[in-house]
Structure 1
Amino acid sequence: MTLEKFADIYQRAASRKGGEDKLELMLSKPLAKEQLTQVTNAQWLSAFSMKVFQSGISWQVVRNKWPNFEEVFFGFSIEPLLMLSDEQWDNKAADSRIIRHHGKVKSILANAKMLHEVSLQHGSFSNMVSNWPAEDITGLWTFLKKHGNRLGGNTGPYALRQMGADTFILSGDVESYLRNSKIIDGGKETKRSLTAANQAFNQWQQESGRSLTEISQTIAFSIGDNRV
């Protein structure tokens, strides 16, 4: 199988979006490593929790409620959350100020524990993420799925992207492109599919010098019903 050149993908996306200048304005860039290391554990927990709650619910509804979540959960500060009793967690899950979903609320505790444990090893979760091998970003996805709670699928990758970590995302358009190009087949979360997708993105990154984030967005803009 021969990969399509990224330059060709880029030109197709540009033609669909009204030219290179307009396409460039639509592409977001990840944080530099030095900036990423400044992201706090509380910010990570808030991002993970938001994406967990957005799964299966209108994203805007969750965003509108999020100031209430920040208030109820101490700004997602890890230490006080880890000190809560089971009864206190049950009470928070029933709080009318937030979206009441017991399982998703308890995921906040589970992911707080994960962040705490990672920080004991790496100093902070951001240190681990910023030092994760760029050529194995799907390995970080797998870590989140294995050690976090409800962070499988696109939930973990979307949270990483939101916080400025450099990652591609297997959105509907990107997955469709990879399947049509015979890069992946079968389940998109299988080790085989993740490895194949990662290898393809690594090659496009070497060709273009662009971030995984920009490459992923460019692919999405190059296909599907998204013309100007």
Structure 2
Amino acid sequence: MSGYCDAAPGHPLHGPYHDTEYGFPQTDERVLFERLALEIFQAGLSWELILRRRPGINDAFDGFEVDRVAAYDEADIARLLADARIIRNRLKVVALIANARQIQALRASHGGFAAWLAAQPPQDLSQWVKLFRKTFRFTGPEVVNEFLMSLGILEGAHRPDCPVALHLAEMRRSATV
């Protein structure tokens, strides 16, 4: 991912995301759901477009509060599809609502989304994709890869010599001491 490490610094949208979010472990359910949603919205589009629309997407989806999104109905779908601040793709919107409901189910079966992720054995991307496709909607290889890299579960978010990669390595060392 050396291209992103070279291009992001100093960019008003990519810079902060690269330096403070991309590749950083997360356990907060809302953040995990938002990250998955943004990756789903990004499919076929540019990441910069998603970052530009992120505030509006967050507002339209009630800050990605899982229980609120899981309760959305046809009226909410119509509202979202009329909202120019988001990516108005019905398949993606419906997938996010279904995924919120699946995250609710993961609370009962695993103690939550983060616990479900943590319970998975180390595996390659193809195994992750199979698991995500069984569990969530609109989770093809690119969505799953970027989602897991964004959380530091799969490698590749940063070049080894990127200052952020060095910071993340130090964080991991400190956590194991």
TM-score in same-fold range (> 0.5)? yes
Question: What is the match of residue 67 of structure 1?
Answer: 55
User: Which consecutive aligned stretches of 4+ in structure 1 deviate over 3 angstroms post-superposition?
Assistant: none
8 Å CA contact 1:52, 1:150 repeated in 2: yes
8 Å CA contact 1:90, 1:102 repeated in 2: no
Cα deviation 1:28-59 (Å, max 9, x = unaligned): x965xxx64xx222111111111111111111
Question: Is 1:148–2:136 an aligned residue pair?
Answer: yes
> 2:45 is paired with a residue of what secondary structure?
coil
> 2:115 is paired with a residue of what secondary structure?
helix
8 Å CA contact 1:51, 1:158 repeated in 2: yes
User: Which amino acid is 2:131 matched to?
Assistant: F
Superposition map of 1:59-208 within 5 A: 59-134=47-122, 136-138=123-125, 139-162=127-150, 164-168=151-155
Change (3 A) 1:30 1:133: farther
How many residues are aligned here? 141
Percent of aligned positions that are identical: 19
> 1:57 is paired with a residue of what secondary structure?
coil
Distance 2:81 2:30 in 1: 19
Distance 1:99 1:152 in 2: 18
Distance 1:109 1:83 in 2: 8
Unaligned runs of 5+ in 2: 3-21, 161-177
> 1:154 is paired with a residue of what secondary structure?
helix
Unaligned runs of 5+ in 1: 1-12, 14-28, 170-212, 219-228
Question: Normalized against structure 2, the TM-score is what?
Answer: 0.69
The structure with the larger Rg is: 1
